[in-house]
Structure 1
Amino acid sequence: MEDLTARIWDVIVIGTGIGGGSVGRLLAERGLSVLFVEKGTDLGDSRIEGLAIDTADPAARAANGAWPRLINAELDGTTYQLDGMIGAGVGGTSAYYAATLERPEPHDLDHSNAHPHPTGGWPVGYEQMRPWFEKAETYFEISGEPDPLDPIPANLPAPPRALPASDAALMQDLRRAGMHPYQTHMAARFVPGCLSCFGQRCPKRCKMDGRTAGVLPALATGRAALLDRCSVSQIQADATGVQSLTCRRDGQELQLRAHRYVLAGGGLGSPSLLLRSKNEYWPDGLGNRNDLVGRNLMFHLSEIIAIWAGRTKGESGASRSISMRDLYYMQGERFGTVQSMGLVAGYGEILHAMNSRFDRSPLRKLRPLRLGLRLPARVAAQALGQAKLFVGVLEDLPYASNRVLIDDKDEDLLGFQYTVSDELQRRRAAFRQAMRAAFRPNRAMFMGQAPQLNFAHPCGTLRFGDDPATSVLDRDCRVHGLENLYVTDSSFMPTSNGVNPSLTIAANALRVADRIAASMQPRLAASGQLG
């Protein structure tokens, strides 16, 4: 076997989720040598039921593809330990995601006068991103229907899917109420015999994620390699560029070198690594000369509502079929999309909701009491029946005080502090009112009263922009002051938008890969690597 540490790679990619897999694949397809470095293990095509496991044991979590440690969270001034729904394995969190890949609205990136945004615009607008959205939709084999409210609807590469009878009936109810539902954009092949794999690892590769749509096609080019179970502890850099990575694998310390480096460790992991990579040139962490690394942390708020639509008898499983954007931007308020979760209000979903509330309650330190929630969850499931769950994805806004926290003694320990702003509370109340009105023809009930942050959607912690005084990355997502270090995960986003961030991450990663490949063409031509 080739010693992967002995050569100087064209590009080293840290992380194999949506951002890492996408950037690595395009770079390999453009003729560059790529080394993927992944903290977790390559679980192959093994089937695992879910990412969130009810244990704090690092070994058990790592074996399941989860981040090895619970997350230390300070929410509204109170400390908690949270699962966080963060993956650590080839494919990252996307190996377990629900495979919903939707484009943001053009005004999310452009912030026109008609749709103003309190935080200003992106340095790269929607029209510049459009070809990369299209390429990402091809890479991830997106199926679904165009949004009827989109003036320039997406031309998806895969045909729409067959709808369950209950979802078709619910769509008719929504249209009669004046709404504009459409079939959710999904990254899935739906191969024959494949069970629903949303929220779990897929053994048949029908779900397109960072591994199946990114890492595996990159490896198939023969120009990429994978180093799993390899934890990057330090990025070694001088005043202008990265020199090497310090990693640990199987108890050994390794040094990895490349011409370019791409950081794709996630909205919490990437800024944590930069903050830990201190040296004489960067005493506060790489890229952190203006104290912006790790700040402006955003999530989405998830407003989960149970809908009793009827006509569900005889159907097996749950379908993630319906999305609508009627509430996305209303009367000057930035809300977001509403979509079916692919879940029914069954025992597992109710227990998860109860566990989440317990973890934020005064009893959270009494972990054995958590087991006592199973009985009331079963009772509630029997009482609710088979209601379909929908989620409203409410846009979060950036505040510098919401930030990543690190523990210098434990690189596996991720942490953050976050305060739910008065502004977010007000928009949340308005969003819930709009959701109630949208589903008025059907019996509906919200599945919680307290704000529910989506901890699987951390973003904004290494925002990109043209001004180094207000951003960590430039418009090519290169760290200001470091000529060969790029970022392609959700950290780059200056706003969270009103949709799941996965497609935006993938599209931006492909855009950045194109810029990296262009910058390396002269070197490749001189070395004779261009065909």
Structure 2
Amino acid sequence: MTLTDTVWDAIVIGTGVGGGTAGRALAEAGQRVLFLERGPAGHRAERNGLSDVFVPEGRLARGLWPEPMTATIDGQTTKFYAPLGAGVGGSSVFYAATLERPERHDLDNSLLRPHPTQGWPTGFDAMAPWFDRAARLYHLHGTPDPLSADAPLPLGPPPPLSPTEAALFESLRAAGLHPYHAHTAIAHTLGCLQCLGSKCPRNCKQDGRSAGVEPALATGNAVLIDRAEVTRLHGHARIDTVEARINGETRQFRARNVVLAGGALNSPRLLLRSASEAWPDGMANRSGLVGRNLMFHLNEMFALWPPRGTSDSRASKAIALRDLYHHDGDRLGMIQAMGIRASYGEIVHFLNLMLARSALRGVPGLKQLTRLPAAIAARLFGHAQIFVGLLEDLPYAENRVLPGPALAVDYRLHPELLTRRRTFRRAISQALRGQRRALLGMGPELNYGHPCGTLRFGLDPASSVLNADCRAHGVANLWVADASFMPSSMGVNPSLTIAANALRVADAIQRTPCPD
């Protein structure tokens, strides 16, 4: 029997943290799983980063999303390559492997000021066991947040701190803050820190491939087809067939259940492309919310110097703190080390990223001129460490992924977001008073690696796309296991929440009778 003749228990579209995790759980439960991945299989252990490659074929061969994204922000349109993956493991093979649990107030909506969302249909206590399972699956290590009143995640012991990390921990504690060892799925060695933003040549990072797809394939119950671009879903009250373009040919696959895990930017695009007479505005789109309520985080980056006299050691990924997670009732976010030392190369890269998204991006030769200010900044910063504050974004229906053949988004920076950003920057400066620090960047910086919210789940079909189990309203066998399900962006990196929810979705699939 061929792959197209087989009726699979589940087809998983996308192999990132969500798809890989859900597919593994289903395969380990004995279900026959077919992974469909647009990008190439590639190799897990290879040196390959988010490099400046501008040829679509070359990007795809490296596991990068091949086409640029068009972003219209407050009416100004730019075009650039977003930090997205297209290969086995998806974007997670390039991620920094920070998997932090959200706060109770992120999921239980009565604790802080109201925000424009009906909230999470599953609260913190219902999600807690899934966070624990995901932490074990991804082999997280670190130390508990000293400010949390909830039981900590199951964490492995972290490695010893470097002299720079130890000095920064002590100076932050002396300032009255509460740093802890960040929760990561990567070993904190000098070699492993070189994996941040790139594939890991040493197999030391847990991601959608190493913690998801590969263990699923090892069960013998799963099959992977790479370079398979899913173009359309066919069906009405259930998905009948999944259509994909493979080696220039259109092929159709059948399954009892379909798990959509193409990411918060691409999953809604597939549903919008799957319009039919039964679904004229796009599959599962009776609410009109498919692709809407797009959220990111806002990055607030700053340099922090260790106390004078500290020996110059490696870049730090170890430090996190939640003292400013919420402030006087405002939803802000956590702060974490980025694993970046303020050296010349990193500063050049950061300046060029800013330039690529600015109105000056088309000026010939301007990219080369970033070297001089980078050299001056590197001399000024010495061995400062780069930190980022992740400011929570909130959902607005007009912020959305646009329909069409190319990846495009339309987004407005709402006044309340800009007000909270000013609050966050002031709070960071006040909290670090007495420390040698420098806020980096002037204007708001959207974190394009953290899109979420475009297929939000909820209890009311009129105001959500998915039900509480992340099954599409009106489509009995369509499930979603990526960041698009989130009704709010929270104040942490979304990876652990994606993995936890993917495990929850896989469990719901197994508990739900197969539709006829």
Q: Within 5 A, what are the aligned runs for 1:110-509? A: 110-113=108-111, 116-189=114-187, 196-238=194-236, 240-310=237-307, 315-366=312-363, 368-407=365-404, 410=405, 413-509=406-502
Q: Is the 8 A contact 1:235 1:246 kept in 2?
A: yes
Give the counterpart letter for 1:417 in structure 2: D
Residues in 2 aligned to 1:103 and 1:367: alpha-carbon distance in whole angstroms = 44
Residues in 2 aligned to 1:228 and 1:433: alpha-carbon distance in whole angstroms = 47
Q: Deviations over 1:393-438 (max 9, x none)?
A: 000010111110132xx3xx21101111111111000100111112
Residues in 1 aligned to 2:96 and 2:193: alpha-carbon distance in whole angstroms = 13
- Give the CA deviation at 1:366: 3.6
Give the counterpart letter for 1:394 in structure 2: L
Quote the residue 1:107 is aligned against: 105
Match of 1:187, SS state, is: coil
Quote the residue 1:527 is aligned against: none
- Say if 2:512 is the partner of 1:512: no
Residues in 1 aligned to 2:362 and 2:78: alpha-carbon distance in whole angstroms = 9
Q: Deviations over 1:18-58 (max 9, x none)?
A: 1001100101111101111100011112423422x323310
Match of 1:300, SS state, is: strand
Distance of aligned partners of 1:215 and 1:191 in 2 relative to their CA distance in 1, 3 Å threshold: farther
- Give the CA deviation at 1:118: 4.5
Range with bigger deviation, 461-470 or 246-255: 246-255
Give the counterpart letter for 2:105 in structure 1: H
- Say if 2:25 is the partner of 1:26: yes
Give the aligned length. 516
Residues in 2 aligned to 1:312 and 1:269: alpha-carbon distance in whole angstroms = 49
Match of 2:402, SS state, is: strand
Question: RMSD of the alignment, in Å?
Answer: 1.9
Match of 2:127, SS state, is: helix
**TM-score, structure 2 normalization:** 0.96
Match of 2:121, SS state, is: coil
Match of 1:256, SS state, is: strand
Residues in 2 aligned to 1:384 and 1:263: alpha-carbon distance in whole angstroms = 44
Q: Is the 8 A contact 1:165 1:311 kept in 2?
A: no
- Structure 2 unmatched ranges of 5 or more: none
Match of 2:126, SS state, is: helix
Q: Is the 8 A contact 2:105 2:111 kept in 1?
A: no
Match of 1:143, SS state, is: coil
Give the counterpart letter for 1:306 in structure 2: A
- Give the CA deviation at 1:167: 1.1
Q: Deviations over 1:183-233 (max 9, x none)?
A: 000012568975641221012221000001100111111101111110001
Give the counterpart letter for 1:440 in structure 2: R
Q: Is the 8 A contact 1:94 1:210 kept in 2?
A: yes
Q: Is the 8 A contact 1:190 1:207 kept in 2?
A: no
Q: Deviations over 1:300-328 (max 9, x none)?
A: 00000001114686555312011111101
Distance of aligned partners of 1:172 and 1:195 in 2 relative to their CA distance in 1, 3 Å threshold: closer
Q: Is the 8 A contact 1:191 1:206 kept in 2?
A: no
Q: Is the 8 A contact 2:36 2:225 kept in 1?
A: yes
Quote the residue 1:87 is aligned against: 85
The sequence identity of aligned pairs, in percent, is: 52
Q: Deviations over 1:466-494 (max 9, x none)?
A: 10110000001011100000111000000
Give the counterpart letter for 2:377 in structure 1: A
Give the counterpart letter for 2:27 in structure 1: A
Give the counterpart letter for 1:65 in structure 2: G
Distance of aligned partners of 1:332 and 1:93 in 2 relative to their CA distance in 1, 3 Å threshold: same
**TM-score, structure 1 normalization:** 0.93
- Give the CA deviation at 1:498: 0.3
Distance of aligned partners of 1:420 and 1:115 in 2 relative to their CA distance in 1, 3 Å threshold: closer
Q: Find 2:64's aligned residue among 66, 73, 81.
A: 66
- Give the CA deviation at 1:116: 4.6
Quote the residue 2:7 is aligned against: 8
Range with bigger deviation, 499-508 or 185-194: 185-194
- Structure 1 unmatched ranges of 5 or more: 524-531
Residues in 2 aligned to 1:86 and 1:63: alpha-carbon distance in whole angstroms = 13
Give the counterpart letter for 1:48 in structure 2: R
- Give the CA deviation at 1:367: 5.7
Q: Deviations over 1:327-346 (max 9, x none)?
A: 01111111000111111112
- Give the CA deviation at 1:126: 0.7
Give the counterpart letter for 2:13 in structure 1: I
